[in-house]
């Protein structure tokens, strides 16, 4: 009996062990996954909600298990907008073969515990916020075939222990901060096919052992600090398809038979190095070659490269400046697939050969910034696919050929800085897709052709500094798409300024200075409500400044100097809050100079050369006025507004009474039209009452697309802001729809909250639309950064300022809002118009991003910019804040918002607008801050912050902490506002960095809790 019992017990024990091995131990996998879940701090798509014990963990989102053992073999959560840290408990998933966490916002270091995953084959953690060094013990995962750690913040070297990973097929560590040399043991990765170390800090020479990688077909080591030559052994890798070593410090020559060694070459990029000699002629045998970027003395014969579509040799020192420099184009023209040819920014001389007209597939051709002379060859009209043609800053002469009008796909044309002798061809009117036209400083003569008015997609027009004569055609001033700028300055234009200028309601900058224009300034200029800069100086204008200028609420620079203007200086200039530069010098103005608003700053206003002016602040050094300003004298702006409001109210009452009489007879109730959507719940009548008949006293501001009023809802006496678009402007209707669509689909504590909307008709049966927002009692960030409030004393104005902590908090609020828009929404949103006036502050000084009139939904928001797609038409943003790539016709992207944020951040801590007058030529806010960083930070800081750091009310520790944090914040702003999108920080990284700065600020143990509280409440 005892022996039978013993055998039976042993059998049960054996089956228990087998059961444990076959799945009885999978509870450890569930525990590990739940521990991983606890490290997730943000899950906007809610996928972690599906991870609960009511469902077997093998059914959880992103989890796959082996059918036999029910153990986790795959964890794939890529591109889910997750934030948090990577849990060390992942190391307990002992059956895991695939770990994909890429395209998220995981931070902290890579857990060394991943080295316990002995079955792991694929590790892809790229495009996150991971920091620290690469754990050496990942080398214990001997089955790894793919490691992708690119686009993080990793530092240190490639671990020596990685020499044991002999099964690797892909190794990608691009876009990190890794240092050291390229390890020689890479040559032992006999199965390696893809190797990328692009954009790191690797130095030293390339190891000869790379030539042992017989299966390698892709190698990219761009933008490092590599020296020496390309090892000759590397040229033995006959399967090479992509070979990229640009922007290093490599030397030597390329082998003459390079094309024969790499018969499958698709892309060769070795530009930006120090190679010498000739480009291998054998490349003409590379029938697969599509992209060629190279920079050495001679150019290749590429007539046999039938697949070549990209040829870039720009920004080098090629050419001698002599007559035969461009002969190679005769050969290149036989590459019939060529779509991009960039030879700009070199030293090429000579005439442009007629062979250039054979590039019938070209879409982009940049010849600018060379020394090319002679006339533009006949036959240019053959290039019917051209979308971008840059020929500026050369020495072209003769006429611009009429046949240029045959290039009807052109979107950007640059002919500036040449020596043309003829007129602007009337055929330019055929270029209906044109968005950018640069022809300044080109010695052009004759009149501006009215046919230019047919270019109804133009965003900017620059004809500055030519010899143009005649009147300004009214057709040119009737292009509603002009939004960036129009510059006709420094010509010989005559006649009056056409009233059609009022059509340009969205124009940002208008410059007609230094001409011979005469007559009165047209009052229709007041319709150009988006104007930020207006230059009319050095003409013969006469009469008064139009009263309609009161509508130019966004105006920052106004120059009316050296004209023949008369009358009084209008009082309404005091109410233009954004006005930073006002030049009225050398006219015949008379009377009292105001003392409020912009007139309080003598460095911002010039009134010299007006002998009949008096009063003003002492710095103007004017005579005292010998008359008294009484109630019978000049009316103040407030009185004028009251009179105007009263008149409007009386007229409204009369019209309303007549209308009601008519309705009563017809027995028709004058109610708004039926709502088109459930979000439109507010009636016109309610909003009319809430805003006191849309009275001027409740007017908060006027923008490019409409007006904003303060109101009190009758239902609950809630204070609101009512945005009423000007529906006469077709873009205002689009803006209204865009804003409705965005705000109906998003919700975040740092976004302005849309309460309701109205879509119907007013009492005259005109279409009426409005958006109703929560009212922000502290106004916009613009008003706090640049306070110009008429009627307040200097003591009060100085108190309306932001300390360092408040600015940092608001900066974090804005980045959180952007992070949510870019990564937290199911469909990413690009704001497109981030600036201080679109950031509103509530009663607790919390920042809220608003104004989504230009916002875009992106099913697949991307930071990649493509030259063959353009969606900027109609997307302008605001001058100074708009990403530079938008000006080149690139599609909008999340990185464009990051650029705007970087400029805003620098403005917040420097106190300088990006349009400040000190920024000329190549100097802008980014380069200005970068040049002073970090040694001269104090010189570029807002004086209010300097006073805070140097003040006597805070402890030494607090001052030191603030000083260190200021440097860190500016570093973020400089990184975000980099010219190239690829160099900018990701917005999730920005938020994390600013949060860390804030935490560091209050981490000091020497700083008392009382002082922290005082700072936070100040």
- For strands 754-761 and 767-774, give the pairing: antiparallel
CA–CA gap between residue 309 and residue 352 (Å, rounded): 21
pLDDT-wise least confident of 544-558, 855-869, 965-979: 855-869
Query: What are the respective helix, strand and coil percentages of the chain, to the nearest 5?
Result: 30, 20, 50
**Residue 896 resides in a domain:** yes
- For strands 699-702 and 706-712, give the pairing: antiparallel
CA–CA gap between residue 574 and residue 691 (Å, rounded): 24
- What Cα–Cα distance (Å) separates residue 293 from each residue in 243, 247, 290? 11, 11, 10
- Residue 884 phi, psi dihedral angles, 5° rounding: -60, -30
| Helix or strand run (H / E) with residue 140 | none
Residue 422 CB neighbour total at 10 angstroms: 15
Of residues 602, 607, 595, the one with CA closest to residue 562 = 607
pLDDT-wise least confident of 306-320, 802-816, 962-976, 986-1000: 306-320
Confidence tier at 955 by pLDDT (50, 70, 90)? low
Give 195's strand partners. 171, 219
User: For 769-780, how does the pLDDT look when each residue is reduced to its tens digit (9 = 90+)?
Assistant: 888 999 999 999
Mean pLDDT value across residues 80-107: 93
Helix and strand element counts for the chain (H, E): 17, 51
pTM: 0.52
pLDDT of 1014 higher than 50: no
8 A C-beta contact, residue 847 and residue 477: no
**Residue 397 resides in a domain:** no
- In a 13 Å sphere around the CA of 189, the CA atoms on its Cβ side amount to 25
Indicate if 884 and 736 belong to the same structural domain.
no
Determine the 3-state secondary structure of 131 from DSSP: strand
Indicate if 828 and 757 belong to the same structural domain.
no
Indicate if 918 and 972 belong to the same structural domain.
yes
Confidence tier at 1003 by pLDDT (50, 70, 90)? low
pLDDT of 91 higher than 60: yes
CA–CA gap between residue 37 and residue 683 (Å, rounded): 47
For residue 880, the model assigns a pLDDT of 87
Domain count, the chain: 3
Indicate if 731 and 867 belong to the same structural domain.
no
Indicate if 952 and 935 belong to the same structural domain.
yes
CA–CA gap between residue 790 and residue 285 (Å, rounded): 73
Q: What CATH number corresponds to the domain at position 142?
A: 3.80.10.10
pLDDT-wise least confident of 362-371, 428-437, 508-517, 693-702: 693-702
CA–CA gap between residue 887 and residue 437 (Å, rounded): 11
User: For 692-707, how does the pLDDT look when each residue is reduced to its tens digit (9 = 90+)?
Assistant: 888 777 888 776 677 8
pLDDT of 94 higher than 60: yes
8 A C-beta contact, residue 814 and residue 904: yes
- For strands 699-702 and 177-178, give the pairing: unpaired
Which of 140, 161, 178 delimits the end of a domain?
178
pLDDT-wise least confident of 103-107, 456-460, 691-695, 994-998: 691-695
Indicate if 742 and 820 belong to the same structural domain.
no
Which of 145, 162, 178 delimits the end of a domain?
178
CA–CA gap between residue 753 and residue 743 (Å, rounded): 8
CA–CA gap between residue 725 and residue 138 (Å, rounded): 59
Which range has highest mean pLDDT (468-477, 784-793, 845-854, 925-934)? Answer: 468-477
Give 884-947 as a 3 state SS string.
HHHHHCCCCCHHHHHHHHHHHHHHHHHCCCCCCCCCCCCCCHHHHHHHCCCCCHHHHCCHHHHH
Indicate if 67 and 135 belong to the same structural domain.
yes
For residue 961, the model assigns a pLDDT of 74
Local structure of residue 673 (DSSP, 8 states): P
Residue 965 CB neighbour total at 10 angstroms: 18
Q: What crossing angle do the helices spanning 987-1001 and 804-819 adopt, rounded to 10°?
A: 150
Indicate if 103 and 49 belong to the same structural domain.
yes
8 A C-beta contact, residue 828 and residue 822: yes
* Ordered strands of the 754-761 beta sheet: 699-702, 706-712, 719-725, 767-774, 754-761
**Residue 281 resides in a domain:** no
**Residue 900 resides in a domain:** yes
- 1009: tokens are 């809790």
Q: What CATH number corresponds to the domain at position 764?
A: 3.30.200.20
CA–CA gap between residue 363 and residue 366 (Å, rounded): 10
Indicate if 949 and 829 belong to the same structural domain.
yes
Which of 178, 209, 228 delimits the end of a domain?
178
For residue 581, the model assigns a pLDDT of 93
pLDDT of 288 higher than 60: yes
Could you give the percent of the chain with pLDDT greater than 90? Answer: 50
Structural domain containing residue 730:
671-774
- Residue 517 phi, psi dihedral angles, 5° rounding: -75, 150
**Residue 863 resides in a domain:** yes
User: For 869-904, how does the pLDDT look when each residue is reduced to its tens digit (9 = 90+)?
Assistant: 333 344 457 888 999 888 777 778 899 999 999 999
The catalytic site residues sit at: 833
Q: What CATH number corresponds to the domain at position 817?
A: 1.10.510.10
Angle at 984 between CA 978 and CA 988, to 5 degrees: 145
- What Cα–Cα distance (Å) separates residue 53 from each residue in 50, 357, 799? 9, 70, 56
Residue with tokens 């002679």: 374
What is the average pLDDT value for the chain, to the nearest integer? 83
pLDDT of 12 higher than 90: no
CA–CA gap between residue 223 and residue 176 (Å, rounded): 11
For residue 737, the model assigns a pLDDT of 79
**Residue 759 resides in a domain:** yes
CA–CA gap between residue 714 and residue 712 (Å, rounded): 6
pLDDT of 81 higher than 80: yes
For residue 952, the model assigns a pLDDT of 52
Indicate if 742 and 864 belong to the same structural domain.
no
Indicate if 850 and 953 belong to the same structural domain.
yes
For residue 260, the model assigns a pLDDT of 86
**Residue 266 resides in a domain:** no
CA–CA gap between residue 969 and residue 674 (Å, rounded): 50
pLDDT of 935 higher than 80: no
Of residues 77, 43, 84, 83, the one with CA closest to residue 61 = 77
**Residue 791 resides in a domain:** yes
Give 542's strand partners. 520, 564
Indicate if 788 and 893 belong to the same structural domain.
yes
């Amino acid at each position: 009996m005892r022996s039978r019992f013993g055998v039976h017990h042993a059998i049960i024990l054996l089956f228990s062990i087998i059961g444990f091995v076959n799945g009885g131990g999978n509870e450890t996998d569930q525990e590990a996954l739940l521990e991983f879940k606890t490290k997730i701090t943000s899950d906007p798509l809610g996928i972690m909600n599906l991870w609960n014990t009511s469902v077997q963990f093998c059914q959880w989102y992103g989890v796959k298990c082996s059918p036999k053992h029910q153990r986790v073999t795959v964890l794939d959560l890529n591109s889910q907008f997750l934030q948090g840290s990577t849990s060390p408990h992942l190391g307990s998933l002992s059956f895991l073969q695939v770990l994909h966490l890429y395209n998220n916002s995981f931070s902290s270091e890579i857990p060394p515990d991943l080295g316990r995953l002995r079955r792991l084959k694929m590790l892809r953690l790229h495009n996150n916020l991971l920091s620290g060094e690469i754990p050496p013990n990942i080398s214990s995962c001997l089955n790894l075939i793919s490691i992708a750690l690119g686009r993080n913040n990793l530092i240190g070297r490639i671990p020596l222990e990685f020499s044991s990973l002999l099964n690797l097929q892909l190794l990608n560590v691009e876009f990190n901060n890794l240092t050291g040399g390229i390890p020689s043991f890479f040559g032992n990765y006999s199965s390696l096919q893809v190797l990328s170390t692009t954009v790191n800090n690797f130095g030293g020479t390339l190891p000869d052992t790379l030539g042992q990688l017989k299966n390698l077909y892709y190698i990219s080591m761009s933008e490092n600090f590599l020296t020496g030559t390309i090892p000759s052994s590397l040229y033995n890798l006959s399967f090479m398809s992509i070979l990229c070593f640009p922007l290093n410090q490599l030397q030597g020559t390329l082998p003459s038979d390079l094309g024969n060694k790499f018969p499958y070459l698709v892309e060769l990029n070795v530009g930006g190095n120090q190679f010498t000699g000739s480009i291998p002629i054998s490349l003409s045998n590379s029938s697969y070659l599509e992209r060629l970027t190279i920079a050495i003395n001679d150019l290749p014969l590429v007539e046999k490269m039938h697949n070549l579509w990209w040829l870039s040799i720009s920004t080098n020192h090629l050419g001698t400046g002599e007559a035969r420099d461009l002969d190679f184009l005769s050969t290149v023209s036989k590459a019939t697939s060529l779509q991009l040819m960039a030879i700009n920014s070199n030293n090429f001389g000579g005439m442009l050969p007629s062979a250039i007209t054979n590039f019938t597939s070209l879409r982009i051709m940049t010849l600018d910034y060379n020394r090319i002379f002679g006339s533009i060859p006949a036959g240019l009209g053959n290039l019917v696919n051209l979308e971008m043609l840059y020929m500026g800053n050369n020495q072209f002469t003769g006429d611009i050929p009429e046949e240029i009008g045959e290039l009807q796909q052109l979107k950007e044309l640059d002919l500036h800085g040449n020596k043309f002798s003829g007129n602007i061809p009337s055929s330019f009117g055929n270029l209906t897709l044109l968005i950018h036209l640069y022809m300044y400083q080109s010695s052009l003569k004759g009149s501006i052709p009215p046919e230019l008015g047919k270019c109804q997609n133009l965003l900017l027009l620059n004809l500055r500094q030519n010899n143009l004569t005649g009147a300004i055609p009214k057709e040119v001033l009737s292009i509603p798409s002009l939004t960036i700028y129009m510059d006709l300055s420094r010509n010989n234009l005559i006649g009056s300024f056409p009233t059609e200028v009022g059509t340009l309601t969205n124009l940002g900058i208008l410059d007609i200075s230094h001409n011979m224009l005469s007559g009165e300034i047209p009052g229709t200029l007041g319709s150009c409500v988006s104007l930020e800069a207006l230059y009319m100086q050095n003409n013969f204008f006469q009469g008064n400044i139009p009263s309609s200028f009161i509508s130019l609420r966004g105006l920052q620079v106004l120059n009316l100097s050296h004209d023949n203007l008369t009358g009084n200086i209008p009082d309404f200039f005091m109410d233009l809050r954004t006005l930073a530069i006002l030049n009225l010098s050398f006219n015949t103005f008379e009377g009292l100079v105001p003392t409020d608003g912009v007139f309080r700053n003598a460095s911002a206003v010039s009134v010299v050369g007006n002998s009949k002016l008096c009063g003003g602040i002492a710095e103007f050094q004017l005579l005292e006025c010998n008359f008294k300003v009484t109630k019978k004298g000049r009316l103040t702006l407030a009185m004028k507004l009251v009179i105007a409001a009263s008149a409007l109210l009386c007229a409204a009452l009369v019209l309303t009474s007549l209308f009601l009489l008519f309705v009563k007879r017809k027995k028709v109730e004058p109610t708004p039209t039926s709502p088109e959507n459930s979000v439109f719940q507010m009636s016109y009548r309610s909003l009319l009452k809430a805003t006191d008949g849309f009275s001027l006293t409740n007017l908060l501001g006027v923008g490019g697309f409409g007006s904003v009023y303060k109101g009190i809802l009758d239902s609950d006496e809630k204070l609101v802001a009512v945005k009423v678009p000007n529906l006469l402007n077709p873009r205002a209707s689009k803006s209204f729809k865009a804003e409705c669509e965005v705000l109906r689909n998003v919700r975040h504590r740092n976004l302005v909250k849309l309460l309701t909307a109205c879509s119907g008709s007013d009492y005259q049966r005109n279409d009426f639309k409005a958006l109703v927002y929560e009212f922000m009692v502290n106004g916009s960030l613009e008003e706090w950064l640049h306070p110009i409030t008429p009627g307040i004393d200097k003591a009060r104005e100085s108190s309306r300022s932001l300390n360092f902590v408040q600015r940092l908090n608001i900066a974090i609020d804005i980045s959180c809002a952007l992070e949510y828009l870019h990564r937290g929404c199911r469909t990413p949103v690009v704001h497109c118009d981030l600036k201080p006036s679109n950031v509103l502050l509530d009663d607790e000084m919390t920042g809220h991003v608003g104004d989504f009139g230009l916002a875009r939904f992106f099913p697949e928001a991307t930071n990649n910019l493509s030259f063959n797609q353009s969606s900027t038409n109609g997307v302008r943003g605001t001058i100074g804040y708009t990403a530079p790539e938008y000006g080149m016709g690139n599609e909008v992207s999340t990185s464009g918002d990051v650029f705007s944020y970087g400029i805003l951040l620098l403005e917040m801590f420097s106190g300088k607008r990006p349009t400040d007058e000190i920024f000329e030529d190549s100097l802008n806010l980014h380069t200005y801050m970068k040049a002073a960083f970090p040694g001269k930070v104090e010189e570029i800081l807002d004086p209010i912050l300097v006073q805070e750091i140097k003040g006597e009310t805070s402890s030494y520790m607090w001052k030191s902490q603030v000083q260190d944090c200021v440097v860190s914040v500016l570093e973020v702003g400089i990184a975000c506002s980099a010219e190239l999108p690829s160099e900018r920080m990701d917005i999730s990284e920005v938020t994390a960095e600013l949060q860390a700065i804030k935490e560091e600020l209050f981490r000091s143990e020497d700083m008392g809790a009382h002082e922290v509280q005082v700072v936070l409440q100040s």
